[in-house]
Structure 1
Amino acid sequence: MDRIPTLGGLQPFGAGEEAGWLFGGVCDRVEPGAAVRMAVHLSGSGAEPVEILGRIAAARPYVYLDIVHDQPWRGRIKLRFGAADGGTRVRLIAELDQPGLEWLMRRRGFPTARNASPHPRLGLLTSKSGPCSPFATSIDNAAMLALEEINAEGGIHGRRVELIVGDDATDPETGIMEARRLVQAGCRTILIATTSATYTAVAESLGDAPVLLVQPVMNEGGSGGRLRLQLGGRPGDQLATATKPLTQMEGVRRSFLAGNDYCWPRTTHGLARQLLPRYGARIVGEEFASMRTRDFAQLVESIQKSGADIVPRPI
């Protein structure tokens, strides 16, 4: 493992017993392109640390280390190393953009508001923090790409569209507050790329508000309406497509159902109990883990003891 100079001598970054000196940083290797996970405790944000997901952009042993990250805000962390009496001087520079500053202010409990704009605004509610944050980067990038294409073609009635992003923190109550903030910012259409629990809570909270809510990611359906569109795939379709070829494989007959304890897995498991026996499969176990579970050792042990051949997990 590459070693990075720190105060007090040489320590490894991201691996080994002394790893994590930078915000608990964890990575497989210290080289450009390697993924990095860090956890930052923000004063006033509660007991749960904020997880930063990024990658190493540049590294030179004993000289510098740069990390760029997309979640929960877009920014760059720069480390600069220099000789000092009795050790090494470490200088840390953190950069963030305007949306990142607003995110931090809201997380600390300070109100933020966008000025009025002559341009139409599109809201995106996603999970930039919490257990579902690993999915948010691709959602952000897809939304920005789509908006660039729309604006390149003239926008809406000749006006550029602005994207305003909200973070539900993988929590329905937070999602409601963020959705209301997006509405107050002038968003009349909100893409809700979160858990179905957040989508349902937001749809109920906004009630008859003249705001189009679109759920573009996979969902269970059932909450449609004139201003409520659920466009993503359904768990039944996924299971039906995958089950037949899987059960035709040699020796694949025993299934273990495992998932998080919320609406998507419970709906999926209910459909699986109906569908799998039709193809000769037998369910040998079922367990749910809480949304914030990090230690899955017990679940893995249950799967191993069950003698399952496969764990079907539509996502």
Structure 2
Amino acid sequence: MAELVLRSEARLEACPSELFGLFGSGDPSLGWLFGSEAESLRPGALVRLTLPLGEGARVPGTARVQRCTPGRRIDLVHEAPWAGRVVCHLDALGDGGTRLRIRVTIDDRELVRLGADFGFHSCTDVEDWEVPLGLLTSLSGSAGILGRSTVNCAQLAVDEINADGGMLGRDVRLVVADDATDPGIGAIAMRRLCRVSGMAAVVGMHSSATYAATSPMAVANGIPYLYTPTSEAAATHPLLVRFGERPLDQLHRALPLMAEATGGTRWFLTGNDYSWPRAVGAAAREVVDRMEGTVTGEGYVPLGTQDFGPVIAAIGECGTDHIVSSFVGQDHVRFESQFSASGLRGTTRTFAPLMDDAVVEHLGPSAAGIWNALGYFAAMDTTENRAFLRRYRDRFGGCSPPVSAAAEGVYEAIHTWASACRSGGGIEPSAFLGGLRTSGFRGPRRCGRGGSLESLLLGEATPSGVKVLDELPVAGPAP
């Protein structure tokens, strides 16, 4: 397999053991690698990086510790915004200093994707014996923290489908594109996917802001678009198939249970400023009104916000009992971290519709006590989920990112697509849509025919992950 290898070398005055001890300290003066943030160097530990792209541009990224030798070597598996490996050697010099050698490796599959994302080529070559299946997701930008586990779960589903004979004798080929959590970039990426010869369907795991830009393109090109995350209602078309939770599904039973647990009646609504968080706010108002509670205030901010001080101050000033926090990805992590640091976590409970195992890992102790209701949490104790997690670990290793609810939803959607195509007798849109009415997939989630959710899990963040509290019914049939 071809790969791109980048090397750098520097001589430093500090000794190897001193440099090793500085790794993960978060001090930007130490450079992009040693200025990263890491709570430990145990295998699988999360590492947050700020990567230099030249001319002063920087992009956030994540990696995981694969192994290390104290004072001598650190090996990382790079996750976002691209997959690869980083190996750092610390060689002792005779004068007490260190020769620092860094090797960065990116394999050919990631190079193909990155080349397409940066516009160096416009399509992916697909062989006659392959069925292309697109995945449009966020590998960078605010929602990039969910990207790698999403790609992993999509690839796992494709591997399993191919091991079971493929699609009518042809192997499925996963074609990945990054929307960078930006609707404009998402539209460019979707246009590129639509141009892939024979594209059977596109699976979307990204913001509803991107969906608003890309769904008309799928319809115009006659390509089924399987949209998997929690999302608000939107214009319908037979080719636009939704799998995720709706805001009212998540809130209609969970908010009354939280109010019952706290004895509080006052709610503050906040999130990023686009259609989905606003829809969550509208659903929350409906549920709070039904409980005869009070909405004490609302505050929405743009994607990519760094300082949430004004919103947190407004929450503190109104003396609310609960907040509904509809932030996405890195914004979610920053808001909840700053909210916890403000001291308000002890008096104000949080319901966060995108809180899952991936977000909790990034938040650490500051996530404790947050509630959410989703179709999947990694802690669900079922035979199907235990087998699924075992296959995930076997395929991607112990240093792979935890399975998020968003990623598992993509896994189920791809299997549901394959089941529907087999039932319908082909990969054409008409065959898929015909089979979708009568087929389904039995995975970890509680789903009926066509992948429709039958129930959700109420979860609470703890220092060790998300704990499942209860199983809740959905609000009713999707409109």
Hey, what's the Cα distance between the residues in 1 that align with 2:157 and 2:219? 28
Q: Which residue is equivalent to 2:106?
A: 96
Q: Which residue is equivalent to 2:383?
A: none
Hey, what's the Cα distance between the residues in 1 that align with 2:303 and 2:94? 48
Q: Which residue is equivalent to 2:387?
A: none
Q: Which residue is equivalent to 1:212?
A: 224
Task: Check whether the contact 1:63–1:82 (CA below 8 A) recurs between aligned residues.
Answer: yes
Give the superposition deviation at 1:98.
1.9
Give the superposition deviation at 1:299.
2.1
3-state SS of the aligned residue for 2:160?
helix
Higher relative contact order (CA 8 A, sep 6+): 2
Q: Which amino acid aligns with 2:250?
A: Q
3-state SS of the aligned residue for 1:149?
helix
Q: Which residue is equivalent to 1:157?
A: 168
Task: Check whether the contact 1:131–1:291 (CA below 8 A) recurs between aligned residues.
Answer: yes
Hey, what's the Cα distance between the residues in 2 that align with 1:85 and 1:252? 66
Give the superposition deviation at 1:128.
0.4
Task: Check whether the contact 1:247–1:280 (CA below 8 A) recurs between aligned residues.
Answer: no
Q: Which amino acid aligns with 1:8?
A: E
Hey, what's the Cα distance between the residues in 2 that align with 1:262 and 1:182? 25
What does the per-residue CA deviation read over 1:162-208, in whole Å, with 9 as the maximum and x for residues that have no partner?
10000000011111111121122232300011001111101123442
3-state SS of the aligned residue for 2:32?
coil
Task: Check whether the contact 1:190–1:211 (CA below 8 A) recurs between aligned residues.
Answer: yes
Hey, what's the Cα distance between the residues in 2 that align with 1:17 and 1:198? 34
Using structure 2 for the length normalisation, give the TM-score.
0.61
Q: Which residue is equivalent to 2:380?
A: none
Task: Check whether the contact 2:224–2:239 (CA below 8 A) recurs between aligned residues.
Answer: yes
My pick for the range that moved more, 78-87 or 106-115, is 106-115
Q: Which residue is equivalent to 1:83?
A: 92
Give the superposition deviation at 1:308.
1.4
Match of 2:67 among 55, 58, 61: 58
Q: Which residue is equivalent to 2:12?
A: 7
Match of 2:313 among 286, 301, 305: 301
Give the superposition deviation at 1:81.
1.2
Change in CA separation of 1:202 and 1:48 when aligned onto 2, cut-off 3 Å: farther
Task: Check whether the contact 1:14–1:20 (CA below 8 A) recurs between aligned residues.
Answer: no
Q: Which residue is equivalent to 1:276?
A: 288
3-state SS of the aligned residue for 1:49?
strand
Match of 2:304 among 273, 288, 292: 292
Q: Which residue is equivalent to 1:314?
A: 353
Give the superposition deviation at 1:104.
3.6
Task: Check whether the contact 2:139–2:180 (CA below 8 A) recurs between aligned residues.
Answer: yes
3-state SS of the aligned residue for 1:70?
strand
My pick for the range that moved more, 192-201 or 108-117, is 108-117
Change in CA separation of 1:104 and 1:157 when aligned onto 2, cut-off 3 Å: closer
What does the per-residue CA deviation read over 1:125-144, in whole Å, with 9 as the maximum and x for residues that have no partner?
00000000111122212211
Q: Which amino acid aligns with 2:188?
A: M
RMSD over aligned Cα atoms: 2.1
Match of 2:31 among 6, 12, 21: 21
Task: Check whether the contact 1:73–1:103 (CA below 8 A) recurs between aligned residues.
Answer: no
Change in CA separation of 1:126 and 1:48 when aligned onto 2, cut-off 3 Å: farther
Task: Check whether the contact 2:136–2:205 (CA below 8 A) recurs between aligned residues.
Answer: yes
Q: Which amino acid aligns with 2:86?
A: I
Task: Check whether the contact 2:194–2:218 (CA below 8 A) recurs between aligned residues.
Answer: no
- Counterparts of 1:26-37 in structure 2, within 5 Å, are 26-37=37-48
Match of 1:69 among 54, 74, 78: 78
My pick for the range that moved more, 238-247 or 296-305, is 296-305
Q: How many positions carry a matched residue from both structures? A: 309
My pick for the range that moved more, 129-138 or 8-17, is 8-17
Task: Check whether the contact 2:117–2:178 (CA below 8 A) recurs between aligned residues.
Answer: no
Task: Check whether the contact 2:113–2:176 (CA below 8 A) recurs between aligned residues.
Answer: no
Change in CA separation of 1:310 and 1:293 when aligned onto 2, cut-off 3 Å: same
Give the superposition deviation at 1:85.
5.1
Hey, what's the Cα distance between the residues in 1 that align with 2:284 and 2:153? 31
Hey, what's the Cα distance between the residues in 2 that align with 1:209 and 1:173? 18
Q: Which amino acid aligns with 1:120?
A: V
Instruction: Kindly indicate whether residue 162 of structure 2 is the aligned counterpart of residue 123 of structure 1.
Output: no
Instruction: Kindly indicate whether residue 209 of structure 2 is the aligned counterpart of residue 200 of structure 1.
Output: no
My pick for the range that moved more, 186-195 or 302-311, is 302-311
Give the superposition deviation at 1:301.
2.3
Q: Which residue is equivalent to 2:261?
A: 249
Hey, what's the Cα distance between the residues in 1 that align with 2:117 and 2:187? 15
Give the superposition deviation at 1:297.
2.6
- Structure with more of its chain in helix, by fraction: 2
Q: Which amino acid aligns with 1:110?
A: F
Give the superposition deviation at 1:108.
4.7
Change in CA separation of 1:223 and 1:49 when aligned onto 2, cut-off 3 Å: farther
Hey, what's the Cα distance between the residues in 1 that align with 2:122 and 2:213? 23
Q: Which amino acid aligns with 2:69?
A: R
Hey, what's the Cα distance between the residues in 2 that align with 1:148 and 1:111? 26
3-state SS of the aligned residue for 1:120?
strand
Instruction: Kindly indicate whether residue 178 of structure 2 is the aligned counterpart of residue 139 of structure 1.
Output: no
**Seq. identity, %:** 33
